[in-house]
Structure 1
Amino acid sequence: MMRPAVVAALLLAGCVPPQAAPGGPTYLGVRTSLLDGDLVNFNVALTGAATPDAVEKYAQCAAAQYALIRGYSFARLVRTNVTEEGGTWGADAVYTISSDLPRGLATIDAVVTVADCGTSGIPTV
């Protein structure tokens, strides 16, 4: 039996097939890198979106799920770089994760965000 941390690492490493929400974008996967302690980099990509908002939300969903997997309750956006090439949107986002509500304006409650992502059809891994 695989340990939950190993399974989570494989999923967050982008070892999942592309997922498509009905009538929406096709989510191409998430690649996660721990930068330092509580600082995490998320690279996500998708097709079928008209604006960069969808890829930014996809990164946020991945960050929220990652925080929960690691036993934390919150994440705070540090920065997001968005690109678009040939209809594929990409986001290179950095978040901090923490057990307590972090300071700053761009904070997310991981439980609430993951639930919202599920309702919206956005995969979290």
Structure 2
Amino acid sequence: MRLPLIALTALAACEAAPVAEGAARYDGIETRLLDGDLVNFRVKMANVADEEEVADYAACAAAQYALIRGYGFARNVRTIVNEEGGIWTGDAVYTISPALPRGLRTIDAEVTVADCAARDIPTV
């Protein structure tokens, strides 16, 4: 009967790290490539002060994704934030590109990922 013990050990190793009471809790990122350079990021959080925290989590995911794909920039197309029962979700769409895209809502992926790390916001 070693199998149940191994299974329990594996499950225990997957538990989330404890979060300080009242601190934002980052509950996951789902990434979907929509078409070419268009990417959808769905994020989930709890203990959020406002919509901006959710949008920042999505931006961090987009910036890291751009770097993983070998691109240096991203541009926010749209971000929709919802809250239900204390659980916040964000549904964001970004374009990723090797050069600075046109528009006002652009991010430099390297700078953004560094800022996210400094603010303890997880990325992809």
Mapping 1:98-113, distance limit 5 Å: 98-113=97-112
Give the Cα–Cα distance (whole angstroms) in 2 for the partners of residues 33 and 21 of structure 1. 27
Which residue identity does 2:70 align to in structure 1? G
After superposition, the CA RMSD in angstroms is 1.7
Structure 1 runs not aligned, ≥5 long? 1-15
Equivalent residue number for residue 33 of structure 1: 32
Are the structure 2 counterparts of residues 114 and 30 from structure 1 closer, same or farther at C-alpha, using a change threshold of 3 Å?
Answer: same
8 Å contact 1:64–1:111 — kept in the other structure?
yes
Equivalent residue number for residue 85 of structure 1: 84
Are the structure 2 counterparts of residues 59 and 90 from structure 1 closer, same or farther at C-alpha, using a change threshold of 3 Å?
Answer: same
Give the Cα–Cα distance (whole angstroms) in 1 for the partners of residues 19 and 61 of structure 2. 16
Q: TM-score, length-normalised on structure 1?
A: 0.83
Q: Greater Rg, structure 1 or structure 2?
A: 2
Give the Cα–Cα distance (whole angstroms) in 2 for the partners of residues 62 and 86 of structure 1. 24
Equivalent residue number for residue 64 of structure 1: 63
Structure 2 runs not aligned, ≥5 long? 1-13
Equivalent residue number for residue 8 of structure 1: none
Q: What percent identity do the matched residue pairs reach?
A: 62
Residues 100-109 or 16-25, more deviating: 16-25
Equivalent residue number for residue 75 of structure 1: 74
Q: Residue 24 of structure 1: CA displacement?
A: 2.2
Q: TM-score, length-normalised on structure 2?
A: 0.83
Paired residues in the alignment total 110
Runs (4+) of structure 1 moved beyond 6 Å? Answer: none
Q: In the TM superposition, what whole-angstrom CA distance separates every residue of 1:42-83 from its partner, at most 9, and x where no partner exists?
A: 000100112111100000000000000000000000001110
Are the structure 2 counterparts of residues 103 and 28 from structure 1 closer, same or farther at C-alpha, using a change threshold of 3 Å?
Answer: same
